Amino acid sequence: MLGFKRAAATSVAAAFAAAFAAAVFAVGAFHIADRSAAAPIAACADSAVDIGSCTIGLQKSTMIYNGKEKIDPVTVTFNDAELVQGTDYTLSYSNNVKIGTAKVKITGIGNYSGSKTLTYKIVPKKLKSLTASAEQGSVTLKWEKVATCTGYKIYRYDPDAKKWRGVKNISSKNTLTWTNKNLQPATEYKYRVKAYMNVGGTAFTGESTQADVTTKGVSIAKLSGLKASATSNSVTLSWNKLSGVDGYKIYRYDSSTKKFKGVKSINSANTLSWTNKNLKANTTYKYRVKGYKKVSGTTYTGTSAEVSAKTPKATTPVAANGQLSVKGANIVNSSGEKFQIRGMSTHGIMWEDFSNILSKDSLKVFRDDWGVNTIRIAMYTEEWGGYTTGADFARQAKEKVNNGVANATDLGMYVIIDWHIMNQDGNPQKHQSEAVDFFTEMSKKYKDYNNVIYEICNEPNNNQGTVTWNANIKPYAEAVTKAIRKNDKDALIVVGTGTWSQDIDQAEKNRLSDKNTVYTLHFYANTHTDWLRNRFVDCYNKGLPILVTEFGTCDASGNGGYNAAQTKKWFDVLDKYKVGYVNWSACGKSETASAFKSGTNLSKISSGTSQLTESGKLVREHFRKLAGKS
C-alpha cells in the first residue's frame, strides 16, 4: 500500500507540473507574439540569432580624412526588419582616425549573439584648384598641396578605349606640377589627379579632380627672302630666319619624275644658307625651301618659297666634274659618268727647283695648253731631304704641298698628294706612324675640298726585305685610310701595290673595304709591255678600280730606252677602258723621262713644244687629243 500511495503521489505531481508548464508556455507565447510587431527576435528565449546571419551594411565605405574620428554608420536587418542599436547590437570602432583601413565591430545583444567586423577606408582629401595649361605638344598640370598624403596619381582619358589610364605617379606631396609631353597639337586632353597615401603597402587614394584642355595648333609662316647664286657646279641658297621653327627642309625639282624631292634637312633655325654641290654646268635647277617644326614625333611644315638658278658653263675640270668617286672598276664624276684622269707628276718637290712647276702660271699652261686635269705632287718620304728625315724637311715639304694644292684648286684642277716611298722605305710600314699623322693633318685641312686625292704609298718594293700585299701593304693601307676617313669621308684614296706598283693582281684577290679606294699601277713603256698590259686588262675585267699614277715613255730607270710605240699601246688600252694616267715627270732633269729640256724655267713654262723633250711632246700631243684641243 505504501508503494502504491507513493506512486500515486508522484503521478499527481507530474501531472500538475505538466499542466503548469503548459500554462507558462501559453503565456510566453502570447508575449512573444505581441513583441514581434516591434522587432524580430529569436523564436525561443533559449535560442538567440547569430548577428553574423543578419544583413549588415556600411553607409559610406569610404570617408575623407580630417584628423578626427571617422564614424561610418551601420545598418543591421533581419527578415527585412531593421534591428535597433543598443537593444539588438552594439558598435565598436577602431583605427578610424588616420588614413588607412578603419574597423567597426557589430556585437549582438538581447536576442542576438555573436559578432561581425566590417572595414572601411579613410582616404586623403580631394585636390583643390587643379589647372591645365597647354602648348603645341604638351600640357602642364598644377594643383594645391594636400597636407596629409604621400603623393599624387595622374590619369588621362583614352578616347579610343573609353577608359581612364594612369600616366604618372608622383611620389612626393611637395611636387605640385607635372608636364605631359609628346602630345599632338590641336587635340583635347582630359586629366584627373588624386592624392594618395601609402599605408602598409597599400595606396589609399582620394577623390579625383578633373581638368580638360586643348593643345595649341602648329602655325608656321611662309619662308621669305629666298635667293640663289650659282657656280658651274654648285648652287647656294639663302633665306630669312623664321621664328618658332626647328629648321628648314630643302627640295629640288627632279625633271625625270616631274616632282620635287627632298635633298637636305637643316636642323637649326639659325642656319640660313646651304650649298648644293656637284651639279652639272649649264643646267637650270629649281628649289623649294620651307620651315618645319617637330612636335611629339610628327613633323609639321609651313608654306614653301621657290627659286631657280642656272649653273654657268664649266671652265675648269673640277667645275665640270665635281667630286670624283669609284663606281665599278672606274673613277666617275659627280654625275656618275666615267672620268679619265690626265695628269702630270712633279719630280721630288724637295729636289733642286722641281717644286717650281707648281706655280699657278705653269699649272695654267698644263690645264689650258696640254689639256691636263690633274697635278701629282711627289713628296719623297726618306730620300733626298724626304719628309721623315727631319722636322725642317717636313715643314718645308708641307709648305710646298699646300702651295701646290692651293694653286691647283684656284685653277679648278685635281691634285694628288703623293706619299712617295722609294728604295729606302719600300715597306710602307716603316714610316706608318708618320704617314698616319701626315694624312690626318692633310685630311683635316682639305676635308671640304672636292679636288684633293690622297696617294698613300707610291711604290712598295722589296729593296729592304720582302714586302707583300697581305702582310704589309694592306694592313698599312687600312690604318692610313682609317685616319683619313675620320675627317674626309668621300675623297679618292690611291693605294700602291707590290713590286713598284705592278702587283695589282695580289690586291685584286684581297681588296680593301673602303668604297672610294683605287689601286696603283705603274709602267715604263720600254720595260713593261704586253705582260703587264694583260695583267691590267684581267684585273680591270674582274672589277678592280685602277689608276696609273706614274708612267714613263722609256725604261724603268727613267733614263734611256725611249719607246713611243709601246707608250702608244699603253695609251690605247687605258683609253679603251677609260682608266686615267699621270706622266713622270714635269721637270727639266737630264733624263729621258723628263717632259722639259734642261734649263727650262719651271715656274713659268710656255705653251707649245719649244721647251719640250721628245717624251714631253708625245705626252702633250696625246693629252691635247683627248681634251679635244687638236
Torsion of CA 581, 586, 590, 592, to 10 degrees: 20
Question: For every residue of 439-452, which 3-state class applies, written as one string?
Answer: HHHHHHHHCCCCCE
Question: For every residue of 195-210, which 3-state class applies, written as one string?
Answer: EEEEECCEEEECCCEE
Question: For every residue of 520-572, which 3-state class applies, written as one string?
Answer: EEEEECCCCCHHHHHHHHHHHHCCCCEEEEEEECCCCCCCCCCCHHHHHHHHH
Residue type, 210: Q
Residue with cell 641658297: 237
The active-site residue, picked from 382, 455, 508, 550, is: 550
Residue with cell 722609294: 422
Q: How far apart are CA 134 and CA 184, in angstroms?
A: 11
CA distances from residue 629 to 261, 328, 572, 621 in whole angstroms, order as listed = 39, 29, 18, 9
Q: Could you tell me whether strands 62-64 and 115-123 are parallel, antiparallel, or unpaired per DSSP bridges?
A: parallel
Q: Which residues pair with 414 in a beta bridge?
A: 374
Question: 441 an active-site residue?
Answer: no
Alpha helices by DSSP H, 183-321: 317-321
Q: Could you tell me whether strands 74-78 and 55-58 are parallel, antiparallel, or unpaired per DSSP bridges?
A: antiparallel
Give the number of other CB atoms < 10 A from CB of residue 113. 16
Sort residue 530 into left (φ over 0), alpha (ψ -120 to 50) or beta: alpha
Question: 382 an active-site residue?
Answer: no
Half-sphere exposure for 520 (CA within 13 Å, toward CB):
30
Q: How far apart are CA 368 and CA 629, in angstroms?
A: 9
The active-site residue, picked from 459, 478, 508, 621, is: 459
Query: Mind telling me the catalytic residues?
Result: 459, 550
